[in-house]
Amino acid sequence: MSDLLANLNPPQLQAVTLPPVHGLILAGAGSGKTRVLTTRIAWLISTGQVGPHGILAVTFTNKAAKEMTARLSSLVPINVRGMWIGTFHGLCNRLLRAHYREAGLPQTFQILDSADQLAMVKRLLKNLNIDDEKYPPRELCHFINAHKEQGVRAGQAEVYDNYTQKRVEIYAEYEAQCNREGVVDFAELLLRCYELLQRNEPLRAHYQQRFRHILVDEFQDTNVLQYAWLKLLAGGGANVFAVGDDDQSIYRFRGAEVGNMRDFERDYAAQNIIRLEQNYRSQGNILAAANAIIKNNRERLGKNLWTDAGEGEPIRAFEAYSDLDEARFVVEEIRELVRDGVVPTQIALLYRSNAQSRVLENELFTKNVPYKVYGGLRFFERQEIKHALAYLRLLGNPDDDTAFLRVVNFPTRGIGARSLENLQATAHQMNSSLYNAAASLTGKAGQTVGAFIRLIESLRQETEGLPLPEMVEHVIEKSGLAQHYRTEKEGQDRLENLDELINAAATFIDDEGAIGEGGALVSFLTLASLEAGEHQAGEGQEAVQLMSVHAAKGLEFDVVFITGLEQGLFPHENSVNEGKDGLEEERRLMYVAVTRARQRLYVSCAQTRMLHGQTRYCMPSSFLDEIPENLMRKLNKKAEATSAVPSFSAFGGGYAEPPASGGLRIGQTVEHAKFGIGVIVSTEGRGADARVQVNFGGSGMKWLALEYAKLTPV
DNA sequence: TGGGAGTGCTTTTTT
DNA sequence: AGCACTCCCA
Q: How many CB atoms lie within 10 A of CB A340?
A: 7
- pLDDT value at residue A639: 39
Is A356 in the active site? no
Residue A63 CA distance to nucleotide B15 C1' (Å): 12
User: DSSP per residue over A142-200, as a string?
Assistant: HHHHHHHHTT--GGG----SHHHHHHHHHHHHHHHHHHHHTEEEHHHHHHHHHHHHHH-
Active site (annotated) includes residue A34: yes
The separation, in Å, between residue A612 CA and nucleotide B10 C1' comes to: 7
Residues (pLDDT < 70) of chain A are 1-2, 270, 512-518, 533-540, 637-667, 681-690, 697-701
Query: What nucleotide is nearest A377 when CA is compared to C1'?
Result: B13
DSSP state at residue A620: B
Nearest-angstrom CA–CA distance, A32 and A30: 6
> Cα A117 from chain centroid?
16
- Nearest CA among A612, A138, A28, A134 for reference residue A358: A612
**Element (H or E) spanning A110, and its range?**
strand A110-112
Active-site residue, from A217, A326, A333, A384: A217
pLDDT at A540: 56
Please state, in angstroms and rounded to a whole number, the distance separating the CA atoms of residues A240 and A477.
50
Strand-pairing partners, residue A251, are none
Give this prediction's pTM: 0.87
Give the nearest nucleotide to A411, CA to C1'. Answer: B1
- Domains of chain A are 2-97+194-276 (3.40.50.300), 110-181 (1.10.10.160), 282-378+536-645 (3.40.50.300), 380-513 (1.10.486.10), 657-714 (2.30.30.390)
Annotated binding-site residues of A for ATP read 27-34
Q: Which nucleotide is nearest to A531 (CA to C1')?
A: B15
CA of A121 to C1' of B8 (A): 20
Measured CA to C1', what is the nucleotide nearest A119? C5
Catalytic residue among A35, A212, A553, A596: A596
Which residue gives the smallest C-alpha to C1' distance to B2? A412
Known catalytic membership, residue A596: yes
Q: Which of chain C's bases lie under 7 Å from a protein CB?
A: 1-2, 6
Please state, in angstroms and rounded to a whole number, the distance separating the CA atoms of residues A618 and A633. 21
Q: Please give, chain by chain, protein residues whose CB is below 7 Å from any atom of strand B.
A: A 60-63, 87, 89-90, 113-114, 186-187, 250-251, 253-254, 352-355, 375, 409, 411-417, 530-533, 547-548, 550-551, 572, 574-575, 578, 589, 612-613
Q: What is the pLDDT of residue A653?
A: 30
Full DSSP string of A554-597: T--EEEEEE---BTBBTTBHHHHHT-HHHHHHHHHHHHHHHTTE
Look up A707 and say whether it is catalytic. Answer: no
Backbone angles phi, psi at A556, to 5 degrees: -145, 150
Note the pLDDT of residue A682.
67
CA nearest neighbour of A28 among A314, A259, A220: A220
| Res A663: pLDDT | 56
CA-to-CA distance for A308 and A100, rounded, in angstroms?
53
Q: How far, in Å, are A15, A25, A43, A68, A310 from residue A7 at the CA level? A: 14, 18, 14, 19, 20
CB atoms within 10 A of CB A662: 16
DSSP A245: -
For residue A552, how many C-alpha atoms fall within 13 Å in the half-sphere facing its CB?
32
Is A217 catalytic? The answer is yes
Q: Please identify which of the residues A222, A226, A248, A356 carries the catalytic annotation.
A: A248
Our answer to whether residue A33 is catalytic in this structure is: yes
CB A681, CB A694: distance < 8 Å: yes
Query: Which residues of the protein are close to the nucleic strand C, CB under 7 angstroms?
Result: A 122, 358, 610, 612-613
